[in-house]
């Protein structure tokens, strides 16, 4: 809930400049059916020459073209050289774009509304830059909390990830931009990612790792990116069981094209094309032979393979048709903006950078709203928060920690350092930090306006921090931790993509402990890409903890929104926070395989990730999956479960705001299967949100469809509902269950 007065007061802080340079990013377009799109694609393919077809399925110009990925145009037929571009949290590497919060922040909102709105805003910026395909969303489950790219996706739970996939893709494609679900599949750690062998059994695959991609297909996703790693012994991009005509994606109705991750074609052109790969990226990134079609492996020799019959020409036609069909479906054949930036010059220089800004006040607002609504209030002793602006006059407040500062923009366009505040991880999933409004700016403005006497110690030096905190009425300590993509990029703070451990960086915990030792009202703000150890969480002098996660560029304003109560926090943890890695039941494999080479990683934990593992093994995390406090309280009553005629179960219940201020609740539905089903004790199967003024109630209805009550049955290769009694758990988190019923 956002009281208007405070919004006006705080609006001044959103200093990210909103510029509109006349780009009509939301231009209307005619959405076609897949049938219409395929008819048009077929007609076009009939007119294409062999070289033109090869040009459309092979990347070109990695070091000279304007986008992260490019294919050749067919100018005579009005087909542009498709522009494929990162990343899942906003356009990079360029200027004039919004630094949106990453996937994990969208997940922490537990809000389909915001997931969709984020997708629309992302799509508008990609369209405005002339990008045909957004290289996202990332749908890799956070199998281990240290996984380097976990923050790009939506956490360890397949249901939440699936819903986020559906909403994000629907949003992106609603403005005519193609979305690309990645990375298919079992791309769950950075170490050895170029070839590790993930061994995943059939049921685990369907219920966990494939499930979000199934939801992506249901959202009509245009493309799927096959991953670097091997899946059950075969490289993903030439794995017919995954991408072939009878592979999982096609059996589930996927219509679009399969594109390789950048350099993920480890086999011959014929192997890849015949297995089901439709487009290779980035094509000529390894310049052997010097020619533009000389990709190292993969589709580089496709032309001769087609001429010799190794790859049937009908297969090449199918590849091109699948590439063109989503382009026609989303109306990109008419009035689509031309590329107006140049990824080769991320600083915006050069003649091909047309200095087009796609930022807008609406995008700044959505970035800020998601940042605020993804902040999870983990602790609030004796109502330490919200800070009452009226009561701050003359109060002494110290701001402590280098995480309060503006990030160092010299770190590079992949955000590969953690110098200043942490807004999202590094690698291809990062975005522009250009317009970041750091906590220090927003805190200074808001605390100053409230009459507080503000001082600061903007390093992680614990002696300096304690000195600054001593004698203060309030100490706000900001700490962080980061992770990212291994790739060819540098390690950050000694971490090769995946984190080395679950500790805060730069001795953050020591800083908090030192400050709390001298200040009895220590408020901790954690910026983190995933679970992190917080041994000081129970310290009496730590009165409040805001787990602000990875908030994107509007980090400062969003933090102030929550601190002062303009936004009553409603973020929910999209992963559990336990005290040690062992509580999660998985590891990051860092050792090579035997005798030397890529390791085999057995997914022996099967369905048991995060809360599913902890519930099974009676491990009580410090803060559980789905947890988050509010400045008000909510009561749950009146559970009703009714069988519907369509084999669904309709679950309804009421939620009342039982506190004194308006707030937002995110009720969650977990399902317990009959024991014979072999499922975890409970699995997320529903979530919703409602804003309620004090005293108000709302009735919720959540429907469990038959798939949500089924398990994957390997013999029949289908979802089958097991017989027996199910338990419905409705509550405020995975462990704060308020209502229970059976059917
Ligand atoms: C990443 C992809 C990314 C691509 C292009 C790869 O290394 O795994 O997620 O889209 O590079 O930058």
Q: What is the DSSP string of 127-170?
A: HHTT-SEE---B-----STT-TTGGGTT-S-HHHHHHHHHHHHH
- Of 624, 520, 633, residue with least CA distance to 572: 624
Residue 486 near ligand 1, beta carbon < 6 Å = no
Give residue 232 CA to ligand 1 midpoint distance, Å: 22
Note the residue count of the chain.
743
Nearest to 255 by CA among 322, 176, 167: 322
Q: How close is the Cα of 726 to the center of ligand 1, in Å?
A: 41
* Mean pLDDT calculated for residue range 312-340: 97
Tell me the percentage of the chain whose pLDDT exceeds 90.
88
Per the annotation, the verdict on 261 as an active-site residue is yes
Q: Which atom of ligand 1 is nearest to the CA of 69?
A: 5
Instruction: Report which ligand 1 atom has the smallest distance to the Cα of 87.
Output: 10
pLDDT in tens, 588-613: 999 998 877 899 999 999 999 999 99
Residue 588: which residues within 8 A CB-CB, separation 6 or more? 144, 146, 147, 189, 191, 498
Residue 289 scores a pLDDT above 80:
no
Tell how far the Cα of 136 is from the centroid of ligand 1, in angstroms. Answer: 10
Q: What is the pLDDT of residue 295?
A: 58
Q: Is the CB of 386 under 6 A from ligand 1?
A: no
The preferred substitution site among 92, 262, 285, 429 for testing ligand 1, maximizing ligand atoms within 8 Å of CB, is 262
In the predicted structure, residue 296 carries a pLDDT above the cut 70: no
pLDDT at residue 26 tops 60: no
**For ligand 1, is residue 489 a contact (CB within 6 Å)?**
no
- Which residue minimizes the CA distance to atom 11 of ligand 1? 262
Instruction: State whether the beta carbon of 182 lies less than 6 angstroms from ligand 1.
Output: yes
Positive or negative torsion for Cα 552, 558, 563, 569: negative
**Ligand 1 atom closest to residue 86's alpha carbon, by position in its atom list:** 10
Calculate mean pLDDT across residues 700-720: 98
- In the predicted structure, residue 16 carries a pLDDT above the cut 50: no
Task: Give the pair of three-digit tokens for residue 16.
Answer: 């990210």
Q: Give yes or no for residue 8 having a pLDDT over 80.
A: no
- The candidate with the shortest Cα–Cα distance to 641, out of 676, 682, 672, 664, is 672
Q: Does ligand 1 have an atom closer than 6 angstroms to the CB of 229?
A: no
pLDDT band at 489 (very low <50, low <70, confident <90, very high): low
Other C-beta atoms closer than 10 Å to the C-beta of 737 total 17
pLDDT of 28? 84
Cα–Cα distance measured from residue 277 to residue 240, given in angstroms and rounded to the nearest whole number: 9
Mapped onto helix, strand or coil, the DSSP state of residue 231 is strand
67 lines ligand 1 (CB under 6 A): no
Q: Is the CB of 263 under 6 A from ligand 1?
A: no
Shortest-distance atom of ligand 1 to CA 193? 8
How many Å lie between the centroid of ligand 1 and the Cα of residue 696?
47
640/220 Cα distance (integer angstroms)? 34
pTM of the model: 0.96
Report angle CA 195, 199, 205 to the nearest 5 degrees.
115
Give tens-digit pLDDT for 115-169: 999 999 999 999 999 999 999 999 999 999 999 999 999 999 999 999 999 999 9
Q: What is the DSSP string of 29-96?
A: --PPPHHHHHHHHHHHHTT--HHHHHHHHBB--TTTSSSSEEB--BGGGTB---EEE--TTS--S-SS
Six-digit token string for 31: 């959405």
Q: Tell me, using a 6 A CB cutoff, whether residue 142 lines ligand 1.
A: no
529, 548 Cβ separation under 8 angstroms:
no
Predicted local confidence at residue 582, as pLDDT: 98
Name the helix (H) or strand (E) containing 507.
none
Q: How do residues 449-458 score in pLDDT, each as one tens digit?
A: 999 999 999 9
Ligand 1 pocket check for 86: Cβ under 6 Å: yes
CB 242 within 8 A of CB 197: no
Is 519 strand, coil or helix? coil
Instruction: Indicate whether residue 135 lines ligand 1 (CB < 6 A).
Output: yes
Nearest to 331 by CA among 86, 731, 17, 29: 29
Q: How many angstroms is it from 355 CA to the middle of ligand 1?
A: 25
Residue found by looking up tokens 């950078």 in the block = 353
- Of 22-31, 265-274, 431-440, the range with the lowest mean pLDDT is 22-31
Nearest of 308, 264, 255, 257 to residue 283 by alpha carbon: 264
Distance 485 CA to ligand 1 centre (A): 9
- Taking 50 as the threshold, does the pLDDT of residue 311 lie above it? yes
| Alpha-carbon span 9 to 701, nearest angstrom | 37
Ligand 1 centre from 577 Cα, in Å? 28
C-beta 187 within 6 A of ligand 1: no
Specify the pLDDT at position 297: 54
**Does ligand 1 have an atom closer than 6 angstroms to the CB of 329?**
no
Q: What is the pLDDT of residue 11?
A: 35
**Ligand 1 nearest atom to the CA of residue 182, by list position:** 9
**What number is the average pLDDT over the span 84-91?**
97
CA of 59 to the centre of ligand 1 (A): 13
Atom of ligand 1 nearest to the CA of 227: 8
Instruction: Kindly state if the Cβ of 566 falls inside 6 Å of ligand 1.
Output: no
Question: What Rg value do the Cα atoms of the chain yield, rounded?
Answer: 25
The closest alpha carbon to 85, from 114, 65, 103, belongs to: 65
Q: What is the mean pLDDT of the chain?
A: 93
Pocket test for ligand 1, best of 261, 412, 488 (most atoms within 8 A of CB): 261
pLDDT reported for residue 488 = 62
Say which range, 15-29, 75-89, 138-152, has the weakest mean pLDDT: 15-29
Q: What is the mean pLDDT of residues 32-50?
A: 98
Q: What is the residue with the minimal CA distance to atom 3 of ligand 1?
A: 428
Contact between 135 and 182 (Cβ < 8 Å): yes
Give the residue whose CA is nearest to atom 9 of ligand 1. Answer: 428
Residue owning tokens 């590969």: 416
pLDDT (average), residues 361-365: 98
Burial state string for 316-338 with b = 16 or more CB within 10 A and e = fewer than 16:
bbbbbbbbbbbbbbbbbbeebbe
Examine the pLDDT at 294 and tell me if it is beyond 70. Answer: no
Ligand 1: nearest atom to the Cα of 282: 5
Distance of alpha carbon 697 from alpha carbon 671, whole angstroms: 24
Mean pLDDT of the region 200-221: 98
Looking from the CA of residue 428, the nearest atom of ligand 1 is 12
The count of other CB atoms within 10 Å of the CB of residue 20 is: 14
Q: How much distance in Å is there from the Cα of 151 to the middle of ligand 1?
A: 15
- DSSP code string of 248-289: HHHHTT--SEEEE-TT---S-HHHHHHHT--BBSSSTTS-SS
Question: Which pLDDT band holds residue 19 (cuts at 50, 70, 90)?
Answer: very low
- Please list, residue by residue across 570-600, b when 16 or more beta carbons sit within 10 angstroms of its beta carbon and e when fewer do: bbbbbbbbbbebebbbbebbeeeeeeeebbe
Q: Can you give the pLDDT at residue 625?
A: 99
Average pLDDT over residues 64-71: 94
**114 vs 594, which has greater pLDDT?**
114
**Whole-number pLDDT of residue 738:** 98
Ligand 1 pocket test, pick from 190, 229, 428 with the greatest ligand atom count within 8 Å of Cβ, gives: 428
Please work out whether the CB of residue 487 comes within 6 Å of at least one atom of ligand 1: yes
Q: Identify the CA nearest to 380 among candidates 565, 529, 530.
A: 565
Nearest CA to ligand 1 atom 4: 262
pLDDT value of position 2 = 33
Instruction: Read off the pLDDT band of 702 (50, 70, 90).
Output: very high
Residue 639 to residue 653: CA distance in whole angstroms = 4
Residue with CA closest to ligand 1 atom 6: 262
Catalytic one among 86, 140, 157, 261? 261
The partner residues of 514 in beta bridges, in order of sequence, read none
Compute the distance from residue 70 Cα to the ligand 1 centre, in Å. Answer: 13
The Cα 570–Cα 665 span in angstroms is 6
Pocket test for ligand 1, best of 91, 94, 135, 263 (most atoms within 8 A of CB): 135
Number of neighbouring beta carbons within 10 Å of residue 150: 32
Q: What is the mean pLDDT of residues 67-76?
A: 96
Q: What is d(CA 644, CA 637) in angstroms, rounded to the nearest whole number?
A: 21
Q: Is the dihedral of CA 125, 421, 7, 118 positive or negative?
A: positive
Kindly tell me if the per-residue pLDDT of 12 is higher than 50. Answer: no
């Amino acid at each position: 809930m956002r009281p208007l007065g405070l919004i006006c007061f705080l609006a001044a802080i959103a200093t990210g400049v909103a510029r509109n340079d006349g780009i009509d990013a939301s231009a209307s377009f005619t959405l076609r059916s897949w049938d219409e799109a395929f008819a048009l694609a077929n007609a076009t393919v009939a007119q294409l020459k062999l070289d033109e077809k090869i040009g459309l399925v092979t990347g070109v110009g990695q070091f000279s073209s304007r986008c992260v990925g490019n294919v050749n145009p067919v100018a005579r037929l009005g087909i542009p050289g498709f522009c494929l571009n990162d990343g899942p949290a906003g356009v990079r590497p360029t200027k004039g774009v919004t630094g949106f919060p990453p996937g994990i922040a969208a997940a922490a909102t537990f809000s389909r509304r915001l997931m969709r709105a984020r997708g629309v805003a992302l799509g508008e910026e990609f369209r405005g830059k002339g990008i045909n395909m957004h290289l996202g969303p990332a749908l890799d489950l956070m199998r281990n909390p240290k996984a380097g790219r976990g923050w790009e996706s939506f956490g360890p739970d397949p249901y939440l990830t699936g819903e986020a996939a559906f909403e994000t893709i629907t949003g992106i494609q609603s403005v005519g931009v193609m979305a690309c679900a990645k990375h298919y599949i079992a791309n769950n750690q950075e170490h050895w990612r170029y070839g590790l062998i993930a061994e995943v059994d059939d049921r685990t695959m369907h219920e966990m790792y494939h499930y979000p991609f199934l939801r992506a297909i249901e959202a009509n996703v245009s493309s799927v990116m096959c991953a670097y790693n091997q899946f059950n012994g075969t490289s993903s991009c030439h794995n017919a069981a995954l991408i072939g005509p009878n592979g999982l994606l096609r059996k589930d109705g996927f219509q679009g094209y399969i594109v390789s991750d950048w350099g993920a074609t480890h086999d011959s052109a014929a192997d890849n094309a015949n297995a089901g790969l439709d487009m290779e990226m980035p094509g000529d990134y390894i310049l052997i032979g010097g020619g533009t079609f000389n990709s190292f492996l993969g589709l580089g020799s496709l032309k001769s393979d087609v001429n010799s019959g190794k790859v049937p020409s009908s297969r090449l036609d199918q590849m091109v048709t699948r590439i063109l069909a989503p382009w026609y479906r989303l109306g990109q054949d008419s009035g689509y903006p031309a590329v107006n930036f140049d990824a080769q010059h991320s600083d915006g220089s050069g003649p091909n950078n047309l200095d087009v800004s796609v930022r807008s006040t609406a995008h700044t607002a959505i970035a800020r709203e998601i940042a605020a609504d993804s902040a999870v209030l983990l602790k609030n002793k004796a109502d330490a928060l919200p800070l009452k602006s009226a009561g701050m006059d003359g109060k002494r407040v110290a701001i402590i920690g280098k995480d309060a500062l503006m990030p160092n923009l010299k770190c590079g366009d992949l955000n590969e350092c953690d110098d200043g505040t942490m807004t999202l991880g590094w690698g291809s999933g990062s975005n522009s930090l250009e317009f970041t409004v750091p906590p220090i700016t927003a805190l200074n403005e808001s605390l100053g306006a409230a009459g507080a006497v503000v001082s600061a110690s903007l390093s992680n030096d614990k002696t300096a921090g304690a000195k600054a905190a001593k004698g203060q009425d309030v100490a706000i300590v900001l700490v962080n931790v980061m992770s990212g993509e291994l790739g060819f990029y540098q390690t950050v703070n000694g971490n090769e993509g995946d984190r080395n451990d679950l500790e805060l960086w730069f001795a953050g915990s020591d800083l908090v402990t030192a400050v709390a030792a001298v200040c009895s009202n220590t408020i901790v703000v954690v910026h983190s890409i995933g679970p992190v150890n917080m041994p000081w969480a129970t310290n009496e002098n730590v009165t409040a903890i805001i787990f602000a996660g990875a908030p994107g560029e509007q980090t400062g304003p969003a933090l102030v929104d929550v601190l002062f109560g303009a936004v009553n926090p409603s973020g929910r943890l999209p992963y559990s926070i336990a005290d040690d890695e062992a509580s999660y039941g998985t590891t990051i494999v860092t050792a090579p395989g035997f005798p030397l080479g890529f390791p085999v990683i057995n997914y022996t934990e099967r369905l048991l990730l995060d809360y599913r593992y902890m519930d099974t093994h009676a491990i009580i995390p410090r803060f559980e999956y789905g947890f988050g406090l509010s400045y008000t309280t909510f009561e749950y009553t009146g559970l009703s479960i009714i069988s519907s005629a369509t084999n669904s179960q309709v679950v309804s219940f009421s939620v009342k705001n039982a506190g004194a201020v308006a707030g937002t609740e995110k009720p969650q539905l977990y399902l317990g299967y009959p024991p014979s089903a072999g499922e975890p004790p409970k699995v997320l199967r529903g979530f919703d949100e409602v804003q309620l003024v004090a005293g108000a109630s709302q009735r919720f209805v959540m429907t469990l469809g038959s798939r949500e009550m089924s398990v994957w049955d390997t013999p029949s290769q289908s979802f089958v509902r097991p017989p027996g009694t199910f338990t419905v758990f409705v509550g405020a988190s995975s462990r704060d269950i308020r209502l229970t019923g059976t059917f």
